[in-house]
Structures are given as C-alpha cells and as structure tokens.
C-alpha cells in the first residue's frame, strides 16, 4: 500500500561520520542555492505577480470558509480504503480544500497559543473552548470543539515548552498542545462521515531541531518483543504525566484516548459512521502519528487518517508496518527544501545513502509512512526564493503552496485560480517578496499586548474570565450534537 523509505542512524558510529555527512550536506546546499538563484532570476510563466496580487483583494477567500464542494463521494479516498494517488497528482480541487482545512485547524493552535512569557497564562490557549474558533477566524469551519489537550515531557525537545516568568503563573509544567473537535451535522453531510479531528501544535523554533533531537528509538508495542519502536523524545512528550502537576496528572496520550472513546461510543450508539483524522505540523506531525497508532490499537474498525505538514520521521519499519496492516491512511505534505522531513536520520542526500548497508546492523532505523504531496517554494511568484530553512518549514507557507500546486510534473507553476490570501504567509515569517507590501511577522497583538489601565500605567491586561484556562478534564457536553 505504501512505500517505506528506510534510513538509519546509530549513536556510537556517528562521530566519525559527522564531518563527512556535514560536508556532503553543505555541498548540496551550496549547489541548491545556485540553482535556486537561477530559478529566482527566471520569470515564472503566470499572471500572478505582486501587482496582480494587490489588484485582486476582492477575490480573496477567508480561512475557514473556503467554498468546498460536496465531498461525500471522496469519503473513501480521504477516510477509507480507496487509493488517493490519482487525486494527489494532479491535485484534485476538493482534495486540496480538505487538506487546507486540516492545515487551518493546526494553524489555529499557533494563532491561539499564548507565547508571552510576561503573561501569567503563558503556555495556555488564549481563549476558551467555545470561543477559540471564533477568535482565530475559523468559526465557519463546520466543527465543534470538545476538549483541550495538554502535554509535558521529561525529554529534551526543541523549545516546545513555554514558561511564564510571572510569579503567580497558572502552570509551570505543561503546555496546551492541541484539541479535539467533531464535524457538525452540516459538515458531516458534506464529507459523508462524522469526523473527529485532532490537531497537534508543533515547536516554535525550527532551527533548534538539529541540535535538540533525541534519536533514540524505544519500544511502544503492547508486546515488547514486537520490535515496534518510535523516537524517544516524541513519545516522552506524548506519554509523560506526573501527580505533581495540575494539567498532566494524565498524559496527552490518556487525554486523547479518553475523549476518543467518549466521542466514538456516543456517535456509534446513534448509528453513525465515525472517522478520526489526526493532523499536525512539525513536532505535531509526530504526535499525529502516535495518536493514530493508539487509535488503531483501540478501535480496529475505526477509519483513521493522518494529514501532516513538514513532519519528521517518527518510527521504525515495524511501526509503519502496523499502520499499514490496520489500513491507516496518511497524507504527508512536504516542502521540497524543508530539512525537517529528513529527520531523524543521517541521510541528508544521495551520497549518504551509500552508508545504508552498514546502517542495517544498527538500532537506528527510521521510516516515513504515507502518500507524499511534495510542493515547491519556487512555484510561487510571491515568495522570496532565497534559501531560508526556518521559513521553508512555516505552516502558512505550506498552505499557500498547496493552494497553488498543480501536479508533480508542473512543480514550478502556480495555479491561476488560487485564492488563498497571500498575506497569510508572513504571519510568523518573512518569506514574501517586498513588492507584496506585506510586513514580516505581522500577526502579533497591538502594543505587544500592553494596555493602559485606569491609573494610566501600561500593563498586561487580565484575561476575560471565560478565557482563563479551564480545569484539565473540561469537555463540551455531547448534548450540543442532539
């Protein structure tokens, strides 16, 4: 069903290979820079110029409300056994909109996350469960949020944990990592199935991945002899818990499975067909795979789909074999020049694949799983094509490129009728050309969140009472679906 790409890594032999690997990797980068510059200097055959973009604002479609067709006929392609390959190449418009829909669910976790270390609620969601979609512009996405998910970790991971400097901080051990939502009746009719979605947030600083990865593989299968292994750091974040914390007395894993059981049992008792879609970006992509694995263990007859953006390798070939045996479907969206999907592992380019025979005897073996949708930065006439490893990993850039993608045979062309707002690319990066007149990293609170209080002093405001982080076991009553 899926092609597994086998790459290997080992702790002890790494030192004597680093120099060679680094040299080969940088050699590729230098060559890529030359090719990229040559492409950037060549006019792309499209009417989509910066001037064209500025002149067509009345045609822009809002996030969370992209007009989508009736996708009930695609139910088995997205949430069932049918092969999605013909819909990925060339990219079918309805399939495109569904992928973007799941990407926007993830983007909402970034837009609603409190990064402000001066806030006493740093690391939480800025808004309550019933207000979050509205506050991040996704109120019309057709889903009802049911639960927030929190995570902690005893492993060293790249800056995923944000901590408040406030002396009375709400929490020092956990961060809001994602949520669970369910399609409402209208959306369920449109897609042909009651869909449970679980978006997972990624890390904040892409550049820290290289130095902070924990490459150890660990067993996760119920039988320790089954050789199913995943990356230790990812699993630590997913499964860690402590009685000394408020929000992680149960792990993100336990929180997810408890809510999944509640939702699946409720809708099945009503005679409905239910699906699960786990989705994530970067680190969140790894968590999406771990959640899909658990769901496939828990409900062997539940259709499970994974949709990820810029995700790293997560487990070994046995882990991927299990997903395939349980017919878990996976769609991996990958930007051509993004280095995160090449990790963990030492195979950065074709030259290093020569080491693969030696690596077969090592314990470090990581494998990608799923259908790949590769997109190219050089297809967009709005984006600065100079190499920027952090910018290439940006989620909004992924969504922009998906909106313009045509097919694998036309990687450098951009779709003429793409309507997603180009300005969104620069929400948290500076990838757009200056001619678009969109400033870098524009998505931020006015005055960096400070307001003038009744004494005339500039202070961080108190949150609205309904937006104070709820107790960790808070869920939306299922009566909202009746």
Peptide bond between residue 225 and the one before it cis (omega within 30 degrees of 0)? no
> Model-level pTM?
0.86
Q: In the prediction, which pLDDT does 342 show?
A: 83
Q: pLDDT truncated to tens, each residue of the chain (482 aa)?
A: 444 444 433 334 333 333 333 333 333 333 333 333 333 333 434 456 666 666 665 566 767 665 567 888 899 999 999 999 999 999 999 999 999 999 999 999 999 999 988 999 999 999 999 999 999 999 999 999 999 999 998 777 777 788 888 888 888 899 999 999 999 999 999 999 999 999 999 986 555 555 555 668 888 977 766 789 999 889 999 999 999 999 999 999 999 999 999 999 999 999 999 999 999 999 999 999 999 999 999 999 999 999 999 999 999 989 999 999 999 999 999 999 898 888 875 433 334 444 444 444 444 578 899 999 999 999 999 998 876 778 899 999 999 999 999 999 999 899 988 889 999 999 999 999 988 889 999 999 899 889 999 999 999 999 999 999 999 999 999 999 98
Q: At what angle do helices 232-239 and 283-298 cross, to 10 degrees?
A: 70
Q: In the prediction, which pLDDT does 31 show?
A: 38
169, 114 contact by CB (below 8 A): no
CA 267 to CA 305: how far, in whole Å?
A: 18
CA 429 to CA 395: how far, in whole Å?
A: 10
**Helices (DSSP H) in 136-251: which residue ranges?**
185-191, 209-212, 232-239
List Cα–Cα distances, 438 to 181, 220, 424, in angstroms: 32, 46, 9
List Cα–Cα distances, 8 to 234, 242, 312, 365, in angstroms: 18, 33, 14, 4
Q: In the prediction, which pLDDT does 223 show?
A: 72
CA dihedral defined by 147, 134, 391, 51, rounded to 10 degrees?
160
CA 10 to CA 21: how far, in whole Å?
A: 13
CA 6 to CA 368: how far, in whole Å?
A: 8
Residue 477, judged by CB atoms within 10 A of its CB (0-12, 13-18, 19+), counts as exposed
Smallest Cα–Cα separation from 136: which of 93, 179, 170?
179
Paired with 178 in beta bridges are: 149, 200
CA 433 to CA 439: how far, in whole Å?
A: 10
CA 431 to CA 377: how far, in whole Å?
A: 10
CA 93 to CA 90: how far, in whole Å?
A: 9
| Dihedral sign for Cα atoms in the order 210, 316, 352, 310 | negative
| Dihedral sign for Cα atoms in the order 432, 333, 42, 49 | negative
Query: In sequence order, which residues have a C-beta less than 8 Å from that of residue 187 and are 6 or more positions away?
Result: 141, 142, 143, 195
Q: In the prediction, which pLDDT does 8 show?
A: 39
Paired with 279 in beta bridges are: 199, 307
Q: In the prediction, which pLDDT does 30 show?
A: 37
CA 134 to CA 467: how far, in whole Å?
A: 13
Instruction: Give catalytic residues, as residue numbers.
Output: 282, 338, 393
């Amino acid at each position: 069903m899926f092609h597994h790409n086998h790459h290997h890594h080992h702790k002890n032999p790494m030192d004597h290979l680093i120099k060679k690997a680094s040299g080969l990797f940088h050699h590729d980068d230098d060559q890529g820079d030359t090719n990229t510059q040559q492409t950037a200097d060549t006019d792309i055959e499209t009417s989509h110029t910066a001037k064209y973009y500025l002149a067509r604002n009345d045609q822009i479609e809002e996030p969370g409300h992209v007009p989508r067709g009736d996708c009930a006929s695609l139910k088995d392609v997205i949430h069932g056994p049918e092969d999605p390959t013909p819909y990925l190449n060339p990219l079918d418009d309805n399939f495109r909109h569904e992928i973007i829909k799941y990407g926007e669910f993830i983007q909402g976790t970034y837009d609603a996350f409190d990064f402000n270390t001066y806030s006493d609620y740093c690391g939480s969601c800025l808004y309550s469960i019933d207000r979050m979609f509205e506050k991040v512009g996704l109120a019309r996405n057709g889903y009802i949020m049911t639960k927030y998910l929190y995570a902690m970790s005893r492993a060293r991971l790249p800056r995923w944990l944000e901590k408040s400097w406030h002396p009375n901080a709400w929490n020092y051990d956990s961060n809001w990592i994602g949520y669970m939502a369910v399609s409402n009746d209208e959306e369920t009719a449109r897609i042909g199935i009651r869909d449970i979605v679980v978006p997972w947030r990624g890390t904040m600083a892409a550049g820290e991945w290289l130095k902070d990865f924990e490459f150890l593989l660990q067993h996760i299968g119920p039988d320790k002899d089954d050789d199913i292994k995943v990356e230790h750091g990812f699993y630590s974040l997913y499964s860690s818990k402590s009685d000394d914390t408020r929000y992680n007395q149960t792990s993100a894993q336990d929180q997810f499975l408890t809510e999944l059981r509640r939702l699946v049992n409720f809708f099945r008792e009503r005679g409905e067909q239910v699906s699960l879609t786990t989705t994530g970006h970067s680190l969140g992509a790894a968590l999406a795979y771990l959640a899909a694995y658990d769901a496939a263990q828990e409900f062997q007859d539940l259709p499970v789909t994974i949709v990820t953006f810029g995700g790293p390798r997560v487990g070994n070939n046995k882990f991927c074999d299990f997903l395939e045996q349980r017919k878990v479907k996976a769609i991996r969206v990958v930007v051509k020049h993004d280095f995160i999907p090449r990790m963990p592992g030492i195979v950065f380019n074709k030259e290093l694949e020569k080491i693969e025979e030696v690596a077969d005897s090592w314990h470090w073996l990581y494998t990608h799983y799923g259908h790949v949708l590769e997109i190219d930065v050089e297809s967009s006439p709005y984006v600065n094509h100079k190499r920027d490893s952090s910018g290439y990993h940006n989620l909004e850039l992924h969504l922009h490129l998906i909106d313009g993608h045509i097919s694998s045979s036309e990687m450098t062309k951009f779709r003429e009728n793409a309507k997603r707002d180009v300005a969104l690319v620069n929400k948290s990066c500076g990838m757009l050309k200056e001619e678009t007149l969109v400033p870098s990293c524009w998505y931020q609170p006015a005055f960096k969140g400070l307001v003038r209080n009744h004494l005339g002093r500039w202070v961080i405001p108190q949150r609205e009472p309904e937006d104070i982080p709820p107790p960790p076991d808070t869920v939306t009553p299922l009566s909202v679906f009746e």
